[in-house]
Amino acid sequence: MFEFQVQHRDSRSSARQAVFTTPHGSVDTPAFMPVGTQGTVKGLPVELLRATGAQMILANTYHLALRPGAETVRQLGGLHRFMGWDGPILTDSGGFQIFSLAKITKVTEQGAVFRSHVDGRLMELTPEHAIEIQQTLGSDVAMVLDHVVALPSPPEAVRDACERSIRWAARCREAATCDDQALFAIVQGGLDPDLRVQCARHLRSMDFPGYAVGGLSVGEPPADMYRMLDVTCPELPDSKPRYLMGVGTPVDLLEAIRRGVDLFDCVIPTRNGRNALALTDDGPVKMRNLKHRSDSNPIDATCPCPACRHHSRGYLRHLFMVGEMLGPILLSVHNLTFYQRLLAESRQAIRQSRYEAFAREKLDRWRDRTSEASIAEEGA
């Protein structure tokens, strides 16, 4: 039912191209999962989402448990039917909310107690409850409940959260009973390489179907994140998928792929789209800028998305200036298409064993274009 087959490896890096098979279809990796936190990728019907090239999407246990409730989703046919998405779905466990809602969360060995950001009612999320919710939702991949802390944090707080995450992972493993749902463990350890290695080894001994690297992209410099991937990825089973949670920028994706990561998710493409920032190989394009008012060119003439095939920069700017909802929708589609094309190009480069050259060319181009844009803005 679940299978992960590495088909190609880059000869000059740890990048690998694989196929991850799930009950709702196969995913060619490396792959980027659009974020559908509350059962929807904001503003996008599934037809547009599929058109971007998305193969697998992410939804969130905590938010769906609050509204509409896991039992309601089950009564409506499960998460796939509820969303109208027939491809693979991964659900986060709610562990990230321990970090993001820290001011209204109390963590004990038993679990985390939240004060709902919706109506203020108390919600207890234990490892067992997190698994129960995800099994009720019916996602293809469920995540263990982990304890995420901000970075930097005191070493004792990082160690405590890391060790608790290992114990919670064991409890999640014990609670999981669905054969048609793969449970992924999450490596924690902050920016301590020894903790990361110890955590990875503990979790590897439990033989999970997949492994994630969590607790990164929470305030640390990118170089520190890459350093943690350098020590963590080699400790994870080569025969299992590796998922870098909540990451990231196009640069982050290429850097992580070269280190052997297979799956990603992040709100960057859709959040930027809603805020009038279009992503291109020539650097970000701020669609509200006055210079686009009479521009008849598309965002990117090589892009197959509806925004680029049918509309000018001038029209897209107009949509944002008058507050029309179509602007954020079109730019979200464009940015997700940009991400999916980048991942498709990465897979092709790995298959041709030229990933390192491909990544270096992309990174150099983006660095030069970003530098040029900064100079232009300073002189404006």
Which residues, listed in sequence order, are joined to residue 124 by a DSSP beta bridge?
A: 113
Candidates 92, 140, 146, 300; catalytic one: 92
Two tokens, residue 52: 């971007």
Q: What is the DSSP string of 88-136?
A: -EEEE-SHHHHHHTGGGEEE-SS-EEEE-TTT--EEEE-HHHHHHHHHH
Which one is catalytic: 140, 252, 262, 265? 265
Dump the DSSP string for 190-259: TT-HHHHHHHHHHHHHT--SEEEE-S-SSSS-HHHHHHHHHHHGGGS-TTS-EEETT---HHHHHHHHTT
Clarify whether 160 is annotated catalytic. no
Residue whose token pair is 């982990």: 146
3-state secondary structure of 16: strand
CB–CB of 176/142 below 8 Å?
Answer: yes
- The three-state secondary structure class of 186 is strand
Q: What is the DSSP letter of 175?
A: H
Cis peptide before 248 (omega within 30 of 0): yes
**Residue 86 annotated as catalytic:** no
Catalytic residue set: 92, 265
